Amino acid sequence: MSRKNQTLGEFIIENQSEFKYSSGELSKLINAIRLAAKVVNHEVNKAGLVDIIGTAGDTNVQGEDQQKLDVLANQTFIQTLSKREIVCGIASEEEEDFISINSLDENNQNKYVVLIDPLDGSSNIDVNVSVGTIFSVYRRITPLGTPVTKEDFLQPGRNQVAAGYIIYGTSTMLVYTTGHGVNGFTLNPAIGTFYLSHPNMQYPKDGKYYSINEGNYIHFPKGVKSYLKYCQMEEGDRPYSSRYIGSLVSDFHRNMIKGGIYIYPKSSVAQAGKLRLLYECNPMAFIAEQAGGRASDGFNRILDIEPSELHQRVPFFCGSYNMVKDAERFMAEAQ
């Protein structure tokens, strides 16, 4: 039975049988992510002491300014995952196309592809605000021993076999699910080991926080504006409190513990929304549902959306189940 202060390695071994394709691969994959997370954590903690903050002078495929730590985190996760005999492909928010691993080896039996946002909220590094890493794992659908194709990555979120995030804050935590609940592990920096600190994490059904960039209010659709007025109305357990960090991992993590909703809707300046379906919304939606929460684009379940491109963007409503249902009601009424 899982117990607090159990190491991540012990937890993985003890719960290996819950993994649908249990044969040791999950352990290797999570261990690779754990190792890369510790490297990135070390670099994040040095920000301000060495020349790793600020922009790298380039833009990524999204057209966004790359931070120096974006580049470092991206390289660290790709290199670490590539060296394990389990991953056959990697897609990163920072890369224009997916990366095929050992694609010329006919004996390559690697089964999994990983999609990753190496450093979510990286613009906050300069001001010492929590940032994170988001990852998503799928079993490939093309034949073993052949190069991966885009088809292996363009799977609906319901096909995920694992997903998680690492939050680099006052403490560093790795939170993940394999479809059997959500568990959080905190890094003991003195010995470099993750320990189970938050077993069976659950979203409160109702919350008291809403997280949205209200500076964009004028650009929001009518349904979102109506829901925000509802959140601010003094009635029952309302008004809710506004809490917005600007780092998805940080906002999500707080809301899962305290109870709340995170919203990044489409707008008149971002018709498809801003967050990426494959690197951000799908993994966070999987975690949310496993923790008793809910995630949608305002109308449809996130995990049922059929992806059409690697860097597809969607609106995102995620958090405490009843709060998301309320937001969806206002969206439907406005429509």
Verify that 186 and 231 share a domain, yes or no: no
Q: Is the dihedral of CA 220, 225, 228, 232 positive or negative?
A: positive
Single residue among 177, 198, 219 that ends a domain in this structure: 198
Both tokens of 284, joined, read 């966070």
Verify that 113 and 239 share a domain, yes or no: no
Verify that 247 and 184 share a domain, yes or no: no
Single residue among 149, 179, 198 that ends a domain in this structure: 198
Q: How confident is the model at residue 85 (pLDDT cuts 50, 70, 90)?
A: confident
Residue-wise pLDDT tens digits, 273-318 = 999 999 999 999 999 999 999 999 999 999 999 999 999 999 999 9
Going by C-alpha positions, the residue among 156, 190, 145, 155 that lies closest to residue 171 is 190
| 237 marked among binding-site residues | no
| 304 marked among binding-site residues | no
| 207 marked among binding-site residues | no
Verify that 183 and 241 share a domain, yes or no: no
Q: Is residue 239 part of a domain?
A: yes
Q: Is residue 133 part of a domain?
A: yes
pLDDT above 80: residue 214? yes
The one-character DSSP state at 180 is S
| 64 marked among binding-site residues | no
| 9 marked among binding-site residues | no
**Separation of alpha carbons 31 and 16, rounded Å:** 13
3-state secondary structure of 279: helix
Q: Where are the beta strands (DSSP E) in 46-192?
A: 55-59, 65-67, 87-92, 99-100, 112-120, 131-139, 162-168, 172-177, 182-188
**Backbone conformation region of residue 192, classed left if phi is above 0, alpha if psi is from -120 to 50, else beta:** left
Tell me the β-bridge partners of 173: 167, 186
Q: What is the mean pLDDT of residues 312-334?
A: 98
| 130 marked among binding-site residues | no
The one-character DSSP state at 281 is I
| 274 marked among binding-site residues | yes
Residue-wise pLDDT tens digits, 112-158 = 999 999 999 877 777 778 899 999 999 999 998 888 999 999 999 99
pLDDT at 59: 56
| 121 marked among binding-site residues | yes
> What domain count does the chain have?
2
Distinct helix (H) and strand (E) counts, the chain:
8, 15
Query: What share of the chain in percent tops pLDDT 90?
Result: 70
Verify that 193 and 259 share a domain, yes or no: no
Q: Which domain holds residue 185?
A: 8-198
pLDDT at 15: 81
Q: What is the mean pLDDT of residues 60-78?
A: 77
Residue with tokens 């018709």: 271
pLDDT at 18: 67
Going by C-alpha positions, the residue among 125, 155, 126 that lies closest to residue 140 is 155
Specify whether the CB–CB gap between 203 and 26 falls below 8 A. no
Q: What is the DSSP string of 4-51?
A: TT-BHHHHHHHTGGGSTT-SSHHHHHHHHHHHHHHHHHHHHTTBTTBS
Which H helix or E strand runs over 319? strand 316-319
pLDDT above 80: residue 181? yes
Going by C-alpha positions, the residue among 230, 252, 250 that lies closest to residue 240 is 230
| 280 marked among binding-site residues | yes
